[in-house]
């Protein structure tokens, strides 16, 4: 059932008519931790989608609040924990949990619920909204970010650096004795500036990580544009 479900989703994405304006990847944000024994199945779902070759941007945000239970996650970021709390506020939740998958800033699902994640991706692909074009270029130790004009929705331009893959031998905590393989691990997150509907070019320092993703995110959480570069 697993392979046919993913194949059906990929076929749907390939067959979908092109939208006017710019297309962009669907953004998947997994809030996870190496100290959480419920997280490895969700990490596997994210890894599968990252390897699918489809128009997706999966990112693994490792939170800090599991570190106190015996295993300090080497990839845990205070910025990841804060981002998850920010999502709780806009999604109307009074708590956070792992593994949580947030899809395009508007839907959340248990990260290990593969079918639920695929449904959320399909739902976002079915929306008729147009993406705001975002283009990236490296220039020395900086990245130039160009955001085109669009509907005047207050938004932030966020820069994330991430690594393709890590394998960690966990020695303590709930996953003690396991080697965890994780994909698209976020190593840094920062705000490059704001956007209010007019075309703008911003410059930001290169974040840590092998790859760079830039998100144009409305203040209410919705992803308006996204791009990535190695």
175-221 tens-digit pLDDT? 999 999 999 999 999 999 999 999 999 999 999 999 999 999 999 99
**Measured distance CA(55)–CA(164) in Å, rounded:** 16
How much is the average pLDDT of 113-139? 87
Q: Which residue has the higher pLDDT, 3 or 99?
A: 99
CATH code, domain with 166: 3.40.30.10
pLDDT reported for residue 230: 85
**Start-to-end CA span in the chain (Å):** 33
How much is the average pLDDT of 120-124? 92
Which residue, chain included where needed, has tokens 């970021």?
77
Q: 81 Cβ partners below 8 Å, 6+ apart?
A: 63, 64, 65, 96
Q: Which residue has the higher pLDDT, 43 or 230?
A: 43
| Residue 12 within any structural domain of the chain | no
| Residue 90 within any structural domain of the chain | yes
pLDDT reported for residue 22: 62
CB-CB contact of 196 with 150 (8 Å): no
| Residue 91 within any structural domain of the chain | yes
| Residue 179 within any structural domain of the chain | yes
- pLDDT over 60 at 11, yes or no: no
CA angle 60, 27, 181 (to 5 degrees): 25
- pLDDT over 60 at 116, yes or no: yes
| Residue 56 within any structural domain of the chain | yes
Give, in order, the Cα–Cα distances in Å from 226 to each of 48, 57, 170: 20, 8, 33
pLDDT reported for residue 127: 59
Residue-range definition of the domain harbouring residue 206: 2-7+24-229
| Residue 40 within any structural domain of the chain | yes
pTM reported for the whole predicted model: 0.90
- In the chain, the number of structural domains is 1
Give the confidence band of 53 by pLDDT, cuts at 50, 70, 90.
confident
- pLDDT over 50 at 12, yes or no: no
């Amino acid at each position: 059932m697993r392979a046919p479900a993913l194949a059906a989703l990929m076929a749907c994405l390939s067959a979908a008519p092109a939208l006017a304006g710019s297309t962009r990847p669907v953004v998947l944000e997994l809030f996870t931790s190496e100290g959480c024994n419920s997280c490895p199945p969700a990490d596997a779902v994210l890894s599968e989608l990252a390897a699918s070759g489809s128009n997706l941007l999966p990112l693994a945000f490792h939170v800090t609040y599991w570190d106190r239970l015996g295993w300090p996650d080497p990839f845990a970021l205070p910025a990841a924990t804060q981002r998850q709390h920010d999502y709780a506020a806009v999604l109307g939740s009074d708590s956070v949990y792992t593994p949580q998958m947030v899809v395009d800033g508007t839907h959340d699902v248990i990260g290990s619920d593969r079918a639920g994640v695929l449904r959320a991706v399909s739902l976002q692909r079915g929306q008729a909204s147009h993406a705001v074009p975002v283009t990236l270029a490296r220039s020395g130790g900086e990245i130039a970010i160009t955001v085109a004009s669009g509907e005047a929705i207050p938004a932030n331009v966020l820069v994330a650096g991430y690594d393709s893959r890590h394998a960690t031998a966990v020695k303590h905590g709930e996953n003690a004795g396991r080697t965890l393989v994780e994909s698209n691990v976020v190593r840094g997150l920062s705000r490059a500036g704001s956007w209010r509907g007019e075309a703008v070019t911003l410059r930001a320092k290169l974040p840590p990580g092998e790859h760079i993703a830039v998100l144009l995110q409305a203040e209410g959480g919705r992803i308006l544009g996204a791009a990535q570069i190695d």
